[in-house]
Chains A and B, each alone.
Chain A
């Protein structure tokens, strides 16, 4: 069975602080894909990143960075120098062959960045 756990329901930080959103997954597939999406108050889901299980290199995109560790089945997301516009719900998702590549979403983490 596949599962994604986002244990942090809600996080509040003050602007310019760094914040890390945790994502832990379970799968028996040897090849799988992990995703992060942002859902601002307007409601749409915005794609942020996709990572496959064979690529454990960390990735940085501006203030965003992702740490993928197969040993701990984690795919954590860090926002550096957070801004009010980062306030949103962030979802982690898993896709693999055993689930016919349908997404398994975590329950989301609500991030509030206070001015």
Chain B
């Protein structure tokens, strides 16, 4: 089982602010993912990475960006937050090779006023 950490757990912020959601895992997993989920709704993949310096956009278009400079760290950034970004953001990781089980962090609940 993976140990995945997300900070902050809850964030309330005003429109136009730049925010970074942190995600770290301690298992040395190569693959990492970001999902967006409205409360009680299905999960949508917005970004993923198969290793350092590798990032791809997911199935749901997102205005956020990600980076993968270190294996254990996969931050997500919103340059200018808007109310439409209000959602829960879940980070996950898994080992190579495919197929693999994804292990999820506790999530960040973002509210943009």
Contacts and interface: CB of A to CB of B under 8 A. Distances in A.
Partners in one complex: yes
Interface of A: 33, 35, 37, 42-47, 50, 52, 89, 91, 95-97, 100-103, 105-108, 110
Counting contact residues on chain B (CB < 8 A from A), the size range is 20 to 34
A33 B99 contact: yes
B88 A91 contact: no
Contact of A105 (B43, B98, B100, B106): B43
Contacts of A50: 101
B42 A107 contact: yes
Nearest to A52: B99
A108 B41 CA distance: 7
B101 A102 contact: no
A38 B26 CA distance: 22
Most buried by B among A44, A52, A106, A107: A44
B109 interface: yes
Interface of B: 1, 40-43, 45, 48, 58-59, 88, 90, 92, 98-107, 109
B42 A101 contact: no
A103 B45 contact: yes
A33 B101 CA distance: 9
A52 to B, nearest CB: 8
A107 B41 contact: yes
B106 A44 contact: yes
Contacts of A91: 42-43
B106 A42 contact: yes
Residue with the highest number of chain B CB atoms closer than 10 Å, among A42, A96, A103: A103
A44 B107 contact: yes
Contacts of B102: 47, 103
A40 to B, nearest CB: 11
6 contacts: A42-B106, A43-B107, A44-B105, A45-B43, A89-B40, A95-B98
A106 B42 contact: yes
B42 A35 contact: no
Contacts of A42: 106
A106 B44 CA distance: 10
Given A89-B40, A91-B43, A110-B40, A45 B101 contact: no
